[in-house]
Structure 1
Amino acid sequence: MRSLLVIVHRWAGLFIAAFLFVAGLTGAVISWDHELDEWLNPDLFEAKLGGPPLPPLELVARFEAANPQARVTYFPLSYEPGKTAGLFIQPRVNPATGRLFELNYNQAYLEPATGEVRGKRYWGQISLDRRDILPFLYKLHYSMHVPDFLGFDGWGIWLMGIVGIVWMFDCFVGLWLTFPQSKRGATSAIAISSPHREKSWLSRWAPAWRIKKNASAYRMNFDVHRAFGLWTWLFLLILAFTSISMNLGDEVVRPALSKVFSLTPDVGESRTPAPIDKPISPQLSFASVLNIAAAEAAKRSWQEPLGSTFYNQQTGIYSVSFFEAGEEHGSGGMEPKTLYFDGKTGVMLGDSIPWAGTAADIFMQLQFPLHSGRIAGLPGRILLSLMGLVVAVLSLTGIVIWFKKRLVRLKRIEHGNAAVGATGAGYVHVLTPGSYRFIGSLGDENALRLRLSELGEKAALLSITRGALPLGRIALLSGESSFLFVVAIIVGVRRMLYRGGRLSMGTGMLFRSVGTVLFSRNFWQAGMLDASYYVRHVRLRVMRAKG
């Protein structure tokens, strides 16, 4: 079991390492995205003109009148003192072509007193300019900037959600591998008579939590990987799960959770999102929706003022949030009170109230506060920044461990082949239903041909070795022609191995391709065992066909 888990941990880690390295470093930065963005771009966020602010709807109307190709989809309904009003913009459909207008921005920052545009930018574009660096890092964190195609803009989000699933599973695998191995065999008489008591399981596990001093660079790297993973394991698991919830919430987490617990359906759950190039135009204006929202909030005796509003062009749903200016993240990172309305009829579709609903509803509300650390305030954000660095360190040290072990394996193969020399000598064993026996050497082709034909269909697996090291295994097919083919492969292996057993990558790839085609001819009828042929860089795997 342990050897299998080592392989799982190795390949799962290699799959997610690069993604988590980037996500960890960017996560450490974007824990402070608002503060850093405002520090880098005071020209966008700081208002320069005094005077009473314009009503939000008038501010939006002035901007859209000056930019008829743009539609404002988000804007604040109250302003922080000394701050600009940040709007989110989407292109309208060109009536002449039926396609979206091309805009080089999706955010605009306006002076609240006059509506003057202080600046524009395209949130999330790939750019290291000071105006774009924080949005670039934020989008990189959760989507790796995978481009939109086929009318869908969530491929990168899905990718990072899959990475989160593998990461969460690998958390448990990695934890298991830190446990001390169980002792095999019976206790010897010497051990029984020893005055020293056998160490407890916890005592044997304790070294995994420590970093050995004055160790080699490789051992230090290994200890950092293992100890950091243990000390921060719970936080790593939380980050992994919350990343799944936020990237694959509607696709995976909510459906799974609703099977076990009572979960209020999401407002847009029953709607199929429109393609990004074919947005749904609202039939009700922002003004109408805000009037309906204000009346509904008054019925509920909500004390919070109107905070912001957003129109989702893919689902045709308005959302209106209620909070004091500057408190859009609510308490502990929880979303503020929000009402949802149909963009065509104005019918209220639902609400979202922090810390309200079923246990499953509150659990889903907690995903962003947990992932961002905001649930614990300033200390939580500091902790999450440090955890981002830990994730990057674990990814890097894991790659170093794999690379070092791979070099060792390759050196062992070269050393074993060099010990045999360039004579082409090798050994062939055959696994039959009742035995595993030596049948000849690579240099004795005639004897091999004879012995293979004598074994007939009983031979299931052929193993080739040079020196003390296995070079590979080849599954045998039934039928005389199959045995002759295997002999031909053996001869080819012997001739292609030269001076230390090196095999050119090009020749190896050709050999693997040809072998795969020929083996697959009788694959389902042969009932082959799981086997592999390995010559340095090339591995041909043949899976057993049951039945």
Structure 2
Amino acid sequence: MANNRFKGITGWLHLWLGLITGLVLMVVALSGCLLTFEDELELVFFKERHFVSPIPQRLSADSIFNIANSIYPDKKVSKLILEVEPERSAEARIGKGPEMKVAYLNPYNGAVLYKGLFQKQFFRAVRNLHRYLLLNQTGKAITGISCCICLFLTISGIMIWWPANKKAIKQRFKIKWNAKNKRLNWDLHAVTGFYLSFFLILITLTGLVMSYNWAENLIYKLADGKVQKELSPKNLVKSKKANPGILQKIEGSMNKLYPNRGRLNFNISPKSGLAIMAQKESEELPPGCTNAAYFDGKTGQIIRQRPFASVSLGTKIKKYVLPVHAGSIYGSGTKILAFVVALFTASLPITGFMIWLGKRKKKKKPVVDKRSSKTLATA
């Protein structure tokens, strides 16, 4: 009796929380589908800013940096990205915060292929929709709460799906494709939901880590026993001003420290006196997980090497959060899986609403008293 009551309350919460957050979940899920293949689609949709015709000699990193610095005289380059492929352009992020600009340059002649507001780029706008609903901090609060509700809906969905007896086991694992619309809709919602729910739980949990500081701090505490943030260039004050040729020297040092092929990022603070942090990606590591080193901004001498293998366990787990959430952790296979899960999540509010609508119609259906009908027929 108590078990039935608990299941009834769970079902009631599952229904109404699903109806309340349905639209938000659809927006987040559909934008997530698009972001799953962001890297690939970005190169297809905006190839004119990403691809160039290579020639034997590329400009030095310092020359590209100086050209980028001249595009917006009132702002300084904060990040320079050099791709490993010779036909790819260089990316410069200029300034900081909401007004940060971006420019793509031909690394062989310095031509500006594109410039504009960083957040106005198409996939940045999609990411803003996915995480903030285009509503800044208010949107972040809404998506964060919706993420918590989605986790509850997934777990409660498994509880509702769970077979009540042995006879029900067979139908709970199989979609009856030749069934009527009502039964088919229920199967698509519940049976498919069961198979994908475990992946959805993982995506939702990683979403919580990106939404809440307490969730991120919990990772560090569970892994390392304390909150341990990544080392940043501001902790390594060594110089007052970067001299010409420094970035080229740092590029050479990074290629010696980490001889693998990979994108190279220079993180340069606009404030004087801060070290330069360089990061290099590797095919052996998931996206976003980089080998790094810190360099004196005046001499280009290495201050500290920081391979990814040396970072704390909490930092490693935190770095894996985004690749797991986006499905990029193991390449195309996990990306396709993440896309399917996100697309299915977008369908849940629709199939769930249809189930609720069907139950409402059933309740409103008039009940005919057979005995009264028989009496009337005799009369």
TM-score for both structures, normalised by structure 2:
0.77
Distance 2:82 2:96 in 1: 22
CA distance in 2, matches of 1:287, 1:168: 52
The SS at the match of 1:308 is strand
Amino acid in the other structure paired with 2:168? R
Paired residue for 2:115? 120
2:198 maps to: 234
Q: Distance in 2 between matches of 1:318 and 1:19?
A: 40
Distance 1:18 1:341 in 2: 48
Is 1:31 aligned to residue 36 of structure 2? yes
* CA positional deviation for 1:24: 2.1
Question: Separation in 2 of the partners of 1:385 and 1:136?
Answer: 19
Q: Which residue of 2 aligns with 1:141?
A: 130
The residue identity in structure 2 corresponding to 1:116 is A
**Once the 2 structures are TM-superposed, how far is the Cα of residue 376 of structure 1 from its aligned partner?**
2.2
Aligned residue identity for 1:261: A
Superposed displacement of residue 75, structure 1: 1.0
Residues 198-277 of structure 1 mapped to structure 2, 5 A cutoff: 201-248=165-212, 251-262=213-224, 265-267=228-230
Partner in structure 1 of residue 259 of structure 2: 303
The equivalent residue for 2:324 is 370
**Could you say what secondary structure the match of 1:320 adopts?**
strand
Range with greater deviation from structure 2 (157-166 or 217-226): 157-166
Q: Which residue of 2 aligns with 1:190?
A: none
- With over 3 angstroms needed to count, the CA separation of the structure-2 counterparts of 1:265 and 1:165, relative to structure 1, is same
Secondary structure of 1:374's partner? coil
- Could you say what secondary structure the match of 1:379 adopts? helix
- Specify the code of the residue in structure 1 equivalent to 2:328: R
The answer to whether the 8 Å contact 1:267/1:349 transfers is: no
Displacement of 1:357 in angstroms is 4.5
How far off is 1:83 after superposition? 1.6
Q: Is 1:177 the counterpart of 2:177 in the alignment?
A: no
Q: Deviations over 1:232-286 (max 9, x none)?
A: 12111111111112232xx1223223443315611379x9xxxxxxxxxx96549
Deviations along 1:150-172, whole A, 9 cap, x unmatched?
xxxx5534432332222222221
Cα distance change, pair 45–245 in 1 and its aligned pair in 2 (3 A):
same
Task: Find out whether 1:396 has 2:354 as its counterpart.
Answer: no
1:331 aligned counterpart, secondary structure: coil
Amino acid across the alignment from 1:163 = S
Pick one of 259, 273, 278 that aligns with 1:320. Answer: 278
Q: CA deviation at 1:379?
A: 1.3
Query: Does structure 1 retain, via aligned residues, the 8 Å contact 2:230–2:315?
Result: no
Q: What secondary structure does 1:309 align onto?
A: strand
Is the 2:82–2:89 contact (alpha carbons within 8 Å) kept by the matching residues of 1?
no
Is the partner of 1:76 in helix, strand or coil? strand
The equivalent residue for 2:374 is: none
User: 1:15/1:323 Cα in 2 relative to 1: closer, same or farther (>3 Å)?
Assistant: same
Given that 2:328 and 2:334 are in contact with CA atoms closer than 8 Å, whether structure 1 keeps it comes out as yes
TM-fit CA distance, 1:210 = 2.1
SS at match of 2:49: helix
Q: Which amino acid aligns with 1:211?
A: I
Q: For the structure 1 residues 26 and 355, does the alpha-carbon distance in structure 2 shift closer, same or farther, using more than 3 Å as the test? A: farther
| SS across alignment from 1:399 | helix
* Structure having greater relative contact order (Cα 8 Å, sep ≥ 6): 2
Give, in angstroms, the shift of residue 295 of structure 1. Answer: 10
Aligned positions of 1:43-442 closer than 5 A: 43-48=48-53, 50=55, 52-77=57-82, 79-90=84-95, 106-125=101-120, 132-147=121-136, 154-181=137-164, 201-248=165-212, 251-262=213-224, 265-267=228-230, 284-285=241-242, 301-304=257-260, 307-311=264-268, 319-323=277-281, 331-333=285-287, 335-339=289-293, 353-406=307-360, 411=364
Q: Flag structure 2 segments of 5+ consecutive residues without an equivalent.
A: 1-5, 368-379
Output aligned runs, 1:519-530, within 5 Å: none
Q: Which residue in the other structure is 1:446 paired with?
A: none
Conserved 8 A contact 2:289-2:319: yes
Instruction: Deviation per CA, 1:349-380: give whole Å up to 9, x if none.
Output: 98764455454443323212222222222211
- Confirm or deny: 8 A CA contact 1:267 1:340 kept in the other structure: no
Aligned residue number for residue 14 of structure 2: 9
Structure with a larger share of its residues in helix? 2
Quick one: which of 14, 20, 24 aligns to 1:19?
Answer: 24
- Amino acid in structure 2 at the alignment position of 1:265: Q
The gaps in structure 1 that reach 5 residues or longer are: 93-99, 126-131, 148-153, 182-200, 272-281, 417-547
CA shift, 1:176, in A, is 0.8
Distance 2:169 2:250 in 1: 58
Alpha carbons of structure 1 residues 254 and 18: separation in structure 2 relative to 1, 3 Å: same
Q: How far does residue 216 in structure 1 lie from its aligned partner after superposition?
A: 2.8
CA distance in structure 2 between the aligned counterparts of 1:37 and 1:286, rounded to whole angstroms: 35
**Pairwise CA RMSD of aligned residues?**
4.0
Q: Per the alignment, do residues 257 and 32 of structure 1 end up closer, same or farther by CA in structure 2, a change over 3 Å counting? A: closer
Q: CA deviation at 1:29?
A: 2.2
Amino acid at match of 1:309: F
The whole-number CA distance in structure 2 between the counterparts of 1:160 and 1:312 is 31
Alpha-carbon offset, residue 318 of structure 1 = 5.4
Q: Deviations over 1:479-511 (max 9, x none)?
A: xxxxxxxxxxxxxxxxxxxxxxxxxxxxxxxxx
3-state secondary structure, aligned to 1:120: strand
Which amino acid is 1:118 matched to? Answer: L
